[in-house]
Chains A and B, each alone.
Chain A
Amino acid sequence: MGTPDRLGGGPAIEAVGVTKRFRAAGSTGSTSAVDAVHDLTLSVQHGERLAFIGPNGAGKSTSIKMLTGILHPTAGTARVLGLVPWQQRRTLSERTGTLFGQRSQLWFELSPRQSLRMLAAIYGMDRPQETRRVAELGELLDAADLFDVPVRSLSLGQRMRCELAACLLHEPAILFLDEPTIGLDLLAKRRFRELLVTLNEEGGTTVFLTSHDVADIEHVAQRVVVISAGRLIYDDSVPAMRRTMLSTKLVDVGLEHAGASLELDGVSVLEQGDSSARLSVDTTRISIREVLGVVLDVWSVSDISVVDPPLEQVIAEIYAERRS
């Protein structure tokens, strides 16, 4: 507990060749083996904010469950804060916090404050430590007034703030968050993301996040790891992913009056009206400079901007590319 753990100066998380094979019984009585995670090799430095993403069934949650020690891998090794998770799960849990968006760690028949009291005892905190920490978290998460409301009476957004309080109570060095914003409304999501960044920047907490929400990745993560069908298929920083994976740019053009139709190899006109147009440019076939030159020649332009397509599209391209 206390300050983030930097044992031995090694990475916060290191997995080498981790594989998890599940055996499933078929309808005919036969069994088949499925690799939920296959040969996962990954290293996460202290203080990083990493998004671990992939389509449904890609192996994200299974990976988190191995890295937290809930599941034993079929093959491979891993160390989290210098500990082998599935051999030292309880020791590791004193230094990590895990939040599953679809599973509560609060006791539904208790208030959050009572749950926090139970958790503080389970984590071996004494009463003054507990009182100080609960007050800190109440302030940080703007949740002090929620702590005395029965859990079953809280909205999902309120409950998630209390779940995060439970997760942070023992000041973990690493936060594992499995789809933490699922079901939250827009404001609650934004607040949750800001909190994660604050925790990371002020406390140095390593954040390991899975999500289907592109905005979580965009606003929280510094690095993206993509997993598909149990295999790691992409690992780079968020800006690098945009740069390297972006074969498409969007050009928004403000028009002084309606322009002629535009036909250029590598350019598709997504929208065209009297006062604006939007073009999609395949930069592997034509340069942006060339497109801008032609547009300025043929149209009366009042404004022009070049933007990246949404991250969602970039990720979809990664999935599609690796699948093909």
Chain B
Amino acid sequence: MTAPMLRRLGVPADVSGRRLLASRDGLVVSVLFYLIVSGVLSALWRAAAGEHGEVAGYTALALTWYVFTAEAATCAINVRLIEEVGDEIGSGAVAVEMLRPLPVVAVRLAAEVGRCTARLAVLLGPGATYAWLVAGPPPHAAAAVLALPSLVLAVTANLCLQHALAGSAFWLRDTRAMWFLYQKLVFLLGGMLLPLEVLPGVLRDVAMALPFMAMSYAPARLASGHLEPWLLLVQAGWVVVLAALAGAVFAAGQRRLQVVGG
């Protein structure tokens, strides 16, 4: 992808992000949902850790910041994206987007990254305030700062894989089962519900080797006080791989697109 193309893609990202920020009602619901889910889940983890105890090396404070960050990475995403994009492919609506001089998947990803980054920005303020009030400040300031770019990489990796899977609609026509499975994988193997260190040996190793860890676990691990910059490199690597996969799936799928009639 060339620099001029990236500049052109910046506009869909910017316009979509601004548009999202203008839809106040939707944002209020998103923030409320995020705070309720994160609040309940973090309370459970704090109870499990006890006041001075730990769970898999995470203190109650670390677990609180872990949960709020992991939830932010997931709540920023449209969870039914696979289904929606799949429907547009299955119905042939995607044909209109093929009549533009930039790759369909690149424009879609740019717009979605813009939208999700804007939603993320909105979620983080109330989320950080809540976590600070109930548990205390972030355990490690520098690691918390690194969690910010890590969150953007997390939603980008998530969007890339969702588009790659949605592209299967060029062959399968129906992706509803796929998004259901995908969502659960992100919840469990992505570390959204629990830190991956909680998983037993082999399962933990498998989860750490899969791309889902880049979508929730990585920023949450940083925000929970672990200064591990290599996580950003792993995420960036996954973004490159998953973006290439999404591009390849769409390129192959478009060739076999069957659109009959208007």
Contacts and interface: CB of A to CB of B under 8 A. Distances in A.
Interface of A: 22, 36, 56-57, 61-62, 65, 68-72, 89-91, 93-94, 96, 98, 100-105, 109-110, 114, 117-124, 178-179, 182
In the complex, which of the residues A91, A102, A124 has the most CB atoms of chain B within 10 Å of its own CB atom?
Answer: A124
A103 B93 contact: yes
A69 B98 contact: yes
Given A61-B261, A102-B262, A117-B11, A89 B98 contact: yes
Given A22-B260, A65-B95, A70-B95, A119 B8 contact: no
Nearest to B102: A122
Contacts of B125: none
B19 interface: yes
Given A71-B257, A102-B262, A114 B19 contact: yes
In the complex, which of the residues A69, A119, A121 has the most CB atoms of chain B within 10 Å of its own CB atom?
Answer: A121
Contacts of B98: 69-70, 89
A124 B8 contact: yes
Contact of B15 (A70, A91, A96, A118): A118
Given A117-B11, A122-B8, A179 B262 contact: yes
Interface string B234-262: 00000000000000000000010111111
Chain B interface mostly helix, strand, loop or mixed?
helix
Contacts of A98: 96, 99
Contacts of A36: 260
Contacts of B99: 68-70, 89, 93, 96, 98, 105
In the complex, which of the residues A22, A100, A105 has the most CB atoms of chain B within 10 Å of its own CB atom?
Answer: A100
Nearest to B98: A70
A110 B100 contact: no
B12 interface: yes
Contacts of A91: 101
15 contacts: A56-B261, A70-B99, A70-B257, A71-B257, A89-B99, A90-B102, A98-B99, A100-B262, A101-B262, A103-B92, A103-B95, A103-B262, A118-B15, A118-B111, A121-B12
A124 B260 contact: no
Nearest to A23: B258
Given A123-B101, A124-B4, A100 B19 contact: no
Given A57-B261, A103-B93, A179-B262, A122 B107 contact: yes
Contacts of A65: 95, 259
A118 B12 contact: yes
B95 A114 contact: no
Contacts of A70: 95, 98-99, 257, 259
B136 interface: no
The 8 A-B pairs with the shortest beta carbon distances in the complex, nearest first, are: A121-B11, A102-B262, A90-B101, A105-B96, A94-B101, A98-B99, A70-B95, A121-B8
A118 B13 CA distance: 9
B255 A123 contact: no
Contacts of A104: 96
A119 B262 contact: no
Interface in B85-115: 92-93, 95-103, 107, 111
A56 B102 CA distance: 32
In the complex, which of the residues A65, A120, A124 has the most CB atoms of chain B within 10 Å of its own CB atom?
Answer: A65
Contacts of B137: none
A90 B100 contact: yes
A68 B15 CA distance: 27
B8 to A, nearest CB: 5
Interface string B1-34: 0001000111110011001000100000000000
Given A100-B96, A103-B96, A114 B15 contact: yes
A77 to B, nearest CB: 17
B10 A72 contact: no
A26 to B, nearest CB: 16
Given A70-B259, A117-B11, A122-B101, 20 more contacts: A22-B258, A22-B260, A57-B261, A61-B259, A62-B260, A65-B95, A65-B259, A69-B99, A71-B258, A89-B99, A93-B99, A100-B95, A103-B262, A105-B99, A110-B15, A110-B16, A114-B15, A118-B111, A122-B100, A182-B262
A145 to B, nearest CB: 20
Contacts of A96: 99
A305 B106 CA distance: 62
A70 B96 CA distance: 9
B84 to A, nearest CB: 12
A101 to B, nearest CB: 7
A117 to B, nearest CB: 6
Contacts of A109: 19, 23
A178 B15 CA distance: 29
Contacts of A56: 261
A51 to B, nearest CB: 16
In the complex, which of the residues A69, A105, A114, A182 has the most CB atoms of chain B within 10 Å of its own CB atom?
Answer: A114
A65 B11 CA distance: 28
A102 B103 CA distance: 22
